[in-house]
Homo-oligomer: A and B are copies of this chain.
Amino acid sequence: VSCGTVVIVGVGLIGGSIGKALRESGLARRVIGVGRDTARLELAQRLGAIDDAAQDDAAAYAASSVAVVCTPVSRVAQDVCRVARYVPDDALIMDVGSTKRVIVETVERDPRAAERFLGAHPIAGSDRSGVEHARADLFRGSTCVLTPTQCVQPTLVGRAADFWTALGCHVLEMSPEAHDQALAHTSHAPHLVASALSRLSPPQWHALAGGAFRDMTRVAGADTELWVAVFRQNRAAVLHALDALQTNLAELRHALTDDDPERLAALWEVGRAARSRFVASDQLRDPKPPPSC
Contact = CB atoms under 8 A, between A and B. Distances in A.
A271 B197 CA distance: 8
A293 to B, nearest CB: 13
B193 A264 contact: no
Contacts of A126: 211
B200 A245 contact: yes
Interface stretch (A26-34, A79-87, A231-239): A231-239
B187 A213 contact: yes
A217 B275 contact: yes
Contact of A219 (B193, B194, B211): B211
Contact of A200 (B185, B208, B272): B185
A235 B258 CA distance: 10
Interface string A255-293: 011010100110111111011111101100100000000
A124 B209 CA distance: 9
A252 B194 CA distance: 11
Contact of A209 (B186, B207, B272): B186
A192 B125 contact: no
Contact-residue size bin, chain A (C-beta under 8 Å from the other chain): 35 or more
Number of copies: 2
A97 B267 CA distance: 23
Main secondary structure of the interface of A (DSSP, over half): helix
A224 B263 CA distance: 11
A254 to B, nearest CB: 10
Contacts of A203: 274, 277-278, 281
Given A201-B274, A220-B275, 5 more contacts: A125-B211, A186-B205, A207-B281, A220-B272, A224-B272
Interface of A: 123-126, 142-143, 145, 170, 172, 179, 182-183, 185-187, 189-201, 203, 205-222, 224-225, 227-228, 231-232, 235, 238-239, 241-242, 244-246, 248-249, 252-253, 256-257, 259, 261, 264-265, 267-272, 274-279, 281-282, 285
25 contacts: A123-B209, A125-B210, A182-B201, A186-B212, A192-B253, A193-B193, A194-B212, A195-B252, A195-B272, A196-B249, A196-B252, A197-B245, A200-B248, A203-B281, A216-B216, A217-B274, A217-B275, A217-B278, A220-B274, A221-B272, A224-B268, A235-B256, A238-B256, A242-B249, A246-B249
